[in-house]
């Protein structure tokens, strides 16, 4: 395998990672925007009835949905859209940390483990992506 072929293969793999990340966020974000109280009940095992908190949760899920569209951009051009990946990865890391704390305190259902593990997996992959970009001499953002 030539160096150029190897580099094209690696770039193709990053595109695939970002496509999967986009699908993950779109599948999670869309139901949260449409029915935030139902998603809250699934994740936390309690009813969400306060209209202000429903709106806040809808906004949080809307952010996840927007990250999904950002990851689609990164899938199309992983080098150009590194800033989107940095923002999305940071958001995933902070969300996973907060959700893990709530999980350890008994405030979430077991469904939260799926969300936490998914986020941690993507954060690890995004960190490898950043290292790859830096090794290749690309500026971030």
Task: Tell whether pTM > 0.85.
Answer: yes
Measure the CA–CA gap between 123 and 92, rounded to whole angstroms: 7
* Domain coordinates in residue numbering, the chain: 3-135
Tens place of pLDDT per residue across the chain (141 aa): 899 899 999 999 999 999 999 999 999 999 999 999 999 999 999 999 999 999 999 999 999 999 999 999 999 999 999 999 999 999 999 999 999 999 999 999 999 999 999 999 999 999 999 999 999 999 876
């Amino acid at each position: 395998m030539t160096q150029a072929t190897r580099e094209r293969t690696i770039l193709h793999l990053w595109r695939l990672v970002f496509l999967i990340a986009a699908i993950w966020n779109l599948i999670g974000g869309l139901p949260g925007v449409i029915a935030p109280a139902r998603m809250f009940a699934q994740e936390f095992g309690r009813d969400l009835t306060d209209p202000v908190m429903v709106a806040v949760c809808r906004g949080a899920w809307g952010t996840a949905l927007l990250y999904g569209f950002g990851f689609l951009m990164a899938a199309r051009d992983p080098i150009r859209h590194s800033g989107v990946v940095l923002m999305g990865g940071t958001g995933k890391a902070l969300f996973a940390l907060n959700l893990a704390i709530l999980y350890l305190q008994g405030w979430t259902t077991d469904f939260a483990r799926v969300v936490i593990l998914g986020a941690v997996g993507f954060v690890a992959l995004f960190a490898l992506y950043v290292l790859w970009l830096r090794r290749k001499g690309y500026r971030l953002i």
